Amino acid sequence: MTYEEWLELARADDRVVGVVVTGSRGRGALVHAASDWDLRVVVRDGDEAFADSLDTAHGSRVEVSATTLSSFRDGPEWDRYSYAHAAVPVDKLDGEIARLAAARGRLGEDEANVRATDALGVYTNSLYRSLRDSELGLDLAARLDASDSVSALLTAIFAFERRIRPFNKYLRWELEMHPLAWDAAELLGLVEGGLSGSAAAQRALFRAVEPRIRAHGFGAIVDDWDPHVDFLRG
């Protein structure tokens, strides 16, 4: 079936309570001629068998993943960015599907603080390891640890603003279309430098981000690295 036919089916069947369009089509980003339609179809609780019958194979032109309303409320953590900027063409619950999707695509204040704290711990640890690797001439290890550190830092930077780090495919688009409180070109340049594994580039990134870490109230995570903070700064 086409996208329009799926929506027609969803609107006509009382067992379906909502449809969320995720992916490139849902957020209107990086769409091309071969882009598929990613539909999250929500059905009433108790209609699990019906939900299973709606699923389509990966790679389908319209890729449907159906679930019950209760399962939709408690979806997996890794999938949350799917709902950032997603479209909701069918909502039979007076806006409840749209509210749930929006909540899945954004962090609450407490979870943002927990996520930022955890991610900054990984960032500083991996940064330290990468810099030590570099001193020892362990180039591969330095790059791998640099990748871990940059990945964690991006998670923290988005959490500072109660946002979920985008899938890598959408990072540049997200920064340019939904800016953080950081110039997109500057941040992307620092990120690319950090990913190289270069000690100088990683220290430049740390010096740029340290004031932001402190401004958001997470300076204690940096201070825990005393007497090595100067080593991290370079």
What's the CATH code of the domain at 36? 3.30.460.10
What's the length of the chain? 234
Strands 87-91 and 16-22: antiparallel
CA distance 112 to 187: 20
Check the CA dihedral 21-31-84-58 and report its sign.
Answer: positive
Contact 194/139 with Cβ under 8 angstroms? no
Q: Which domain holds residue 207?
A: 109-233
Final residue of a structural domain among 104, 137, 152: 104
Q: Are residues 38 and 59 in the same domain?
A: yes
CA distance 191 to 168: 12
CA distance 7 to 170: 26
Residue from 72, 22, 27, 24 nearest 48 by CA: 72
Final residue of a structural domain among 104, 125, 146: 104
For residue 204, the model assigns a pLDDT of 98
Q: Are residues 91 and 139 in the same domain?
A: no
**Counting Cβ atoms within 10 Å, is residue 17 exposed (0-12), middle (13-18) or buried (19+)?**
buried
Contact 52/64 with Cβ under 8 angstroms? no
pLDDT higher than 90, residue 75 = no
Q: Are residues 151 and 221 in the same domain?
A: yes
Contact 202/127 with Cβ under 8 angstroms? yes
Q: Are residues 113 and 96 in the same domain?
A: no
Residue 33: pLDDT band (50, 70, 90) is confident
Whether this prediction's pTM lies above 0.85 is answered by: yes
Q: What element of type H or E holds 87?
A: strand 87-91
Final residue of a structural domain among 85, 104, 123: 104
Q: Are residues 226 and 114 in the same domain?
A: yes
Q: Are residues 213 and 139 in the same domain?
A: yes
Amino acid at 90: V
Average pLDDT of span 185-191: 97
SS3 28: coil
Q: What is the pLDDT of residues 38-67, one digit of tens each?
A: 999 999 999 999 999 999 999 889 999 999
Q: Are residues 113 and 158 in the same domain?
A: yes
CA distance 164 to 157: 9
Q: Are residues 87 and 122 in the same domain?
A: no
In this prediction, what percent of the chain has a pLDDT beyond 70?
100
